[in-house]
Amino acid sequence: MLKISDLYVAYGGIEAVKGISLEVPDGAIVTLIGANGAGKSTTLRTICGLVKPKSGSISYLGEEITNVPTEQLVKKGITLVPEGRRVFPDLTVEENLKIGAYLRSGEDLTEDFKWIYDLFPRLKERSWQPAGTLSGGEQQMLAVGRALMGHPKLMMMDEPSLGLAPLVVQGIFDIIKEVHKQGVTILLIEQNANMALRIADYGYVLETGVITMDNTGAALLSNEEVRAAYLGKKRK
């Protein structure tokens, strides 16, 4: 579905991503794990058109999308759930969701609201509340719901577990699985390698802008090096 080949991204003189290639097959959950500064977010932002790449190509459903503006990508079905949730704090939950469907304005959204509220009953209870008054976990639900309102085919999530309590993180990953069941392909970026690899079909390990390993989620999870570097297990 999404294919990145030999992508280089630089901020000024500093190269954040140094020639990575990866592939997200249709209907899969693919995860990109790595420490701070490995270039995970940069990769996502480049796919979204928020940052221009230095070289390399990104294609989506066989179509070149390397320098396509964000707006067009959203229309094509690629949606980003940004890092740190970024809900619109002074707007109500319902308004937030409506903005998610911005490019489909004019259409009847009753069905979509029903879908989202079935998925997240908590949001329905709070539909009139300003989003800024929700808890972190609820805000993450809202961010996911808002992205779903645009009917994405590919949903990219930037560290959805950031700053959430372990119990809430579990809930968020359940949501990701649920969304995936609804037929959305997911590209997940995480520092919480344990959780991410557990639900992922395929995983890539990113280190200082280079992909050092890639394998199925389960294989990476049992890989000695990954366990040592990201899961806090001692080498034997």
Partner 1 sequence: MKKSTKYVCSLAVAVIAVALLFALDANKTGAGMLISILQKSAILAVVAVSMNLLNGFTGLFSLGQAGFMSIGAYITAILTIPVKNLDGVYYMSGIAPWLRALKEGMEASPSWLQAIYPFLAMIVGALVAAGFAALIGIPVLRLKSDYLAIATLGFSEIIRAIFSSPQMDQITNGSYGLNKVPTFPSVFGLPSLFTPFIVAAVSIALLVLLINSTYGRAFKAIREDEIAAEAMGINLFRHKEWSFVISSFFTAIAGGLLAMFMRSIEAKTFSITLTYDILLIVVIGGLGSVTGSVLSAFIVTASKEWWLRFFDQPLIIGGWQVPLFRTGFRMVIFSLLLMIVVLFYRQGLMGNKEFTWDGLARFFRKLGKKPAQAKGGAEG
Query: Rule CB under 8 A: which residues touch partner 1?
Result: 48, 50, 69-71, 73-75, 79-82, 86-91, 95, 98-100, 102-103, 105-106, 128, 146-147, 150
User: What does 131-176 look like in DSSP terms, one character per residue?
Assistant: GGGS-HHHHHHHHHHHHHTT--SEEEEE-TTTT--HHHHHHHHHHH
Q: Give the nearest distance from C-beta 121 to partner 1 in angstroms.
A: 17
Q: Closest CB to partner 1 among 42 and 223?
A: 42
Q: Give the nearest distance from C-beta 91 to partner 1 in angstroms.
A: 6
Q: Give the nearest distance from C-beta 219 to partner 1 in angstroms.
A: 32
Q: Closest CB to partner 1 among 99 and 213?
A: 99
Q: Closest CB to partner 1 among 87 and 196?
A: 87
- In our burial notation (b when 16+ CB lie closer than 10 A, e otherwise), range 52-68 reads ebbebebebeeeebbeb
Q: Closest CB to partner 1 among 25 and 89?
A: 89
Q: Give the nearest distance from C-beta 68 to partner 1 in angstroms.
A: 12
- Give, as one character, the DSSP assignment of residue 232: -
Note the helical H segments in the chain: 40-47, 70-76, 93-100, 110-119, 121-125, 136-148, 166-181, 193-199, 217-221, 224-230
